[in-house]
Copies of this chain bind each other. A is one copy, B any other.
Amino acid sequence: MKKRRIGILTGGGDCPGLNAVIRAATKTAVSDYGMEVVGYIDGFKGLVENHFMRLDPKAVSGISHRGGTILGTTNRDNPFRYLVGGTLENPIFDDVSDKAIENLNRLGIEGLIIIGGDGSLNIADQFYKKGVPMVGVPKTIDNDLSATEVTFGFNTAVNTATDALDKLHTTAESHHRAMVLEVMGRYAGWIALHAGIAGSADVILIPEIPYDINSIKSKIADRFIHGKKFSIIVVAEGAKPKDGEMVIQKLVPSSHDPVRLGGIGNKVAQDIEEVVGVETRVTVLGHLQRGGSPIPYDRILATRYGVAAIDNFAKGNFGTMVSLRDNNIESVPLTDAITELKLVPVDGDVIRSARAVGISFGD
């Protein structure tokens, strides 16, 4: 009897735990269901250009603790609007999704496991609507997908940011400085909030709570009165001042402008120096948050997701995404992943807890 054959690809930005998903899905598919597994290289680009590798238990052995993805990834290529020519100034895009489907058919691949964020899962949903069996695995280091309680990679990023805060603390204290740490979180402030609590920040600025520099000034001044001549400020990249525009939009480096011109972290640092009058230094964590070995929590969650994705596929439960709810792995429609962002609830107990231990949100 012919074996069922499925494909896997990773799309979007790097995230610790991708390899653990790939490993778990491959092992489950091969060992539990006797399937064959093909991994597409560099996300949807590999699917369009038919660039793939064979995945079996040996190929995925020993990778669950490694960061990155052995399949490669890009955060650009969309088969429904694919760059097919033109110039840098006038690129020409085309819908090559049929070519991608042809590639699947020619290899006898029944359907795909897509590990990606809202962009990739949106593409997955479009393919599903064209008849391709699809199961999604949610991936967002920012933890801002509403369809799942928590995603792998997020807690590893929180660890990296907390570690940076621990390091900045000693220097801030020795030098009586304000230290600003800019972390990821363009739309939702989860990393800033969690790392800020864990790393004993004094001020946390997140997109969900616009800040007022005078409120930050009061907080820092209050600390001085109590003999604490240093302050630690965590800023999500999407933080914005009240009545101000979001700074990030005009400052995000494009792929042709690698230079970090400085985002909201720089603005906050400058404002603190000017308005508060305290010597301030800023650190932008950047890509460090996407890298490194996933912490055990994320290795386990990624493993559970990978296994569940194959279980879903085997059962014919297509057009779905695996998801964590009440500590159990569930299955939700792919479209759920794309509908709305999961923002930090500003009246939730985590914000409440942060305020109770003396953290200011600048509001």
Which A residues contact B (CB, under 8 angstroms)?
10, 13-14, 16, 18, 23-24, 27-28, 31-32, 42, 57, 62, 64-69, 72-74, 149-150, 155, 158-160, 162-164, 166-171, 173-176, 179-180, 194-195, 197-200, 255-256, 258-262, 266, 269-270, 272-273, 279-288, 290-293, 295-297, 299-300, 303-304, 306-308, 310, 325-329, 348-350, 352-354, 356-358
A288/B32 in contact, CB under 8 A:
no
Whole-angstrom CA separation of A162 from B156 in the bound complex = 15
Residues of B within 8 A of A10 (CB): 174
> B24 and A357: CB pair below 8 A?
yes
Whole-angstrom distance between the alpha carbons of A273 and B168 in the complex?
Answer: 31
Query: Cβ of A310: which chain B residues have Cβ within 8 Å of it?
Result: 356
Measured CA separation A171–B287 after assembly (Å): 8
Assuming A68-B170, A256-B273, is B286 touching A281 (CB within 8 A)?
A: yes
Is B167 a contact of A291 with CB atoms below 8 Å?
Answer: yes
Smallest beta-carbon distance A33→chain B, Å: 10
Q: Name the B residues within 8 Å of A273 (CB-CB).
A: 256, 258
Known contacts A288-B167, A356-B31: does B260 contact A68 (CB below 8 Å)? no
Specify which chain B residues have a CB less than 8 angstroms from the CB of A293 in the assembled complex.
Answer: 166
**Which residue of B164, B195, B260, B304 is within 8 Å of A350 (Cβ)?**
B304
Instruction: Closest B residue to A158 by CB, please name it.
Output: B296
Beta-carbon contact of B174 and A68 below 8 Å:
yes
Q: Give 21 pairs: A residue, B residue, CB < 8 Å, sorted on A.
A: A14-B170, A14-B175, A24-B353, A65-B199, A68-B169, A68-B170, A68-B173, A69-B174, A149-B326, A155-B297, A158-B297, A159-B295, A159-B296, A171-B287, A195-B296, A197-B303, A258-B280, A260-B266, A303-B354, A304-B353, A325-B326
Task: Give the interface centre of A24, A62, A176, A296 by most chain B CB atoms within 10 Å.
Answer: A296
Which residues of chain B have C-beta atoms less than 8 A from A284's C-beta? Answer: 260, 283-284
Q: When chains A and B are docked, how far (Å) is the Cα of A262 from the Cα of B257?
A: 13
Query: A174-B72, A174-B73, A198-B299 known; A357 and B262 CB under 8 Å?
Result: no
Query: What residue of chain B has the Cβ atom nearest to residue A290's Cβ?
Result: B171
Contacts of A174 in B (CB 8 A): 10, 14, 18, 68-69, 72-73
**In contact, A261 and B262 (Cβ under 8 angstroms):** yes
Select A300's contact among B73, B173, B198, beta carbons within 8 Å. B198
B residues less than 8 Å from A150 (CB atoms): 327
A193 nearest in chain B by CB position: B300
| Given A67-B167, A155-B296, 19 additional A-B pairs, CB 8 A | A32-B356, A67-B171, A68-B169, A68-B170, A68-B174, A72-B175, A149-B326, A164-B288, A166-B293, A194-B300, A198-B296, A258-B266, A258-B279, A259-B270, A259-B282, A281-B286, A283-B286, A307-B353, A308-B353
Residues of chain B with a CB closer than 8 A to A68's CB: 169-171, 173-174
Q: Which residue of B lies closest to A270 (CB)?
A: B259
A259 — which chain B residues lie within 8 A by C-beta? 262, 266, 269-270, 282
Taking a contact as CB atoms closer than 8 A, the residue among B72, B287, B299, B304 that contacts A168 in the complex is: B287
Q: How far is the CA of A353 from the CA of B299 in the complex (A)?
A: 12
Q: Give the top 3 A-B pairs by smallest Cβ distance, nearest first.
A: A67-B170, A68-B170, A167-B291
Contacting residues, chain B, for A197 (C-beta < 8 A)? 299-300, 303
Identify the interface centre among A16, A158, A269, A307: most chain B CB within 10 Å of its CB.
Answer: A307
Q: Point out the residues of chain B lying under 8 angstroms from A281, CB to CB.
A: 258, 286-287
